[in-house]
Structure 1
Amino acid sequence: MNTFFEGPVLWSQIDANMHLRHSAYADFAAQARLNLLDQFGLTAAQFQALKIGPILFREELIYHREVSANDTVRVSCEISRCKKDGSRWSIRHELFRKDGIKAATIYVDGAWIDMQKRKLTALPPELMEKFQTLPRTEDFTEDPA
């Protein structure tokens, strides 16, 4: 498993039923994605300088088991699908409790946006080279550009 976030469940992330609230799962996945990009040399500073950023079209959470207060979670990130030019992509996350039980699977579909033109864009070659080294699922699919 390619873990890109590990951390505690905070009191502020707990719902009225004393479980991890639904939106906290997405927050953990988002942090894992940022950590993934950063660890592979695709830093926030580079994206800001190029005025490019990631956007999501779809986010789907499948809950498997409850996560409680004072637990710790680990979140994996793997590319499950992308266009050959890397302009659109899908990532699968798995969120595990500290006891190793899978608590959720999170799927996201996204792309890169030119923040000045407000239009979808591809990564420049130097970032695309790094993007191609990101961990991939066993059933990874590459779509034509």
Structure 2
Amino acid sequence: MSFSVRLTVRSYEIDTQGHVNGAVYHQYADHARAECLRAAGVSLRDLLATGVGPVTLENTVRYHHELRAGDTVDVTCDFVWGDGKTSRVVQRFLRPDGTLVAEVTGTGGLLDLQERRLVSDPGEHWRALAAHPEVLNL
């Protein structure tokens, strides 16, 4: 299942070339992931109460087309789970007509807040907290 949130580019997010500043793509991706977790029924407060917290280990942005002030973009979230301590989130930035603007691929995990180590099965923690785990592809 692919989750999506629609955003409108604000004028203060524009760089000197007239398109969205590169750092803003990370902010859009973060916002979409937070909304995806909310749609899944996951409370960050409840997650932290279990003694773990989310960590980002790597993000990669691939740009395809410009976004300018006033443009509308849909940001998707697709969680990809494996057998290890990390998971990936693939996010696509799409114009309403379906044109691919950018892709953000992130690798993350859940950090045991006392041991300061990644937990062995992050998907299980998310699944236990999610009212709608299918939104997280669980």
TM-score exceeds 0.5: yes
User: 2:137 aligned with 1:135, yes or no?
Assistant: yes
Could you state the TM-score of these two structures normalised by the residue count of structure 1? 0.79
- Residue 107 of structure 1 deviates from its aligned partner by 0.4
2:112 is matched with which residue? 114
Q: What is the CA RMSD across the aligned residues, in angstroms? A: 2.4
- Could you say which structure has the greater relative contact order, defined with CA pairs below 8 angstroms and 6 or more residues apart? 2
Where in structure 1 are there 5+ consecutive unaligned residues?
Answer: 137-145
Q: Which amino acid aligns with 1:128?
A: R
Where in structure 2 are there 5+ consecutive unaligned residues?
Answer: none
- Residue 22 of structure 1 deviates from its aligned partner by 0.4
- Number of corresponding residues: 134
TM-superposition CA deviations, 1:91-142 (whole Å, max 9, x none): 1000012443110011001100122332212459564344853238xxxxxx
2:32 is matched with which residue? 32
1:21 is matched with which residue? 21
The answer to whether the 8 A contact 2:76-2:93 is kept is: yes
The answer to whether the 8 A contact 1:76-1:93 is kept is: yes
Q: How does 1:83-94 map to 2 (within 5 A)?
A: 83=83, 87-94=85-92
The answer to whether the 8 A contact 1:66-1:103 is kept is: yes
**d(CA) in 2 for partners of 1:29, 1:67:** 14
From the two aligned structures, give the one with the greater helix fraction. 2
From the two aligned structures, give the one with the greater strand fraction. 1
Q: Which amino acid aligns with 1:104?
A: A
The answer to whether the 8 A contact 2:40-2:133 is kept is: no
The answer to whether the 8 A contact 1:94-1:105 is kept is: yes
The answer to whether the 8 A contact 1:79-1:89 is kept is: yes
Q: Do the aligned partners of residues 56 and 127 (structure 1) sit closer, same or farther apart at CA in structure 2, a change above 3 Å counting?
A: closer
User: 2:75 aligned with 1:63, yes or no?
Assistant: no
Please say which of residues 25-34 and 2-11 is displaced more in the overlay: 2-11
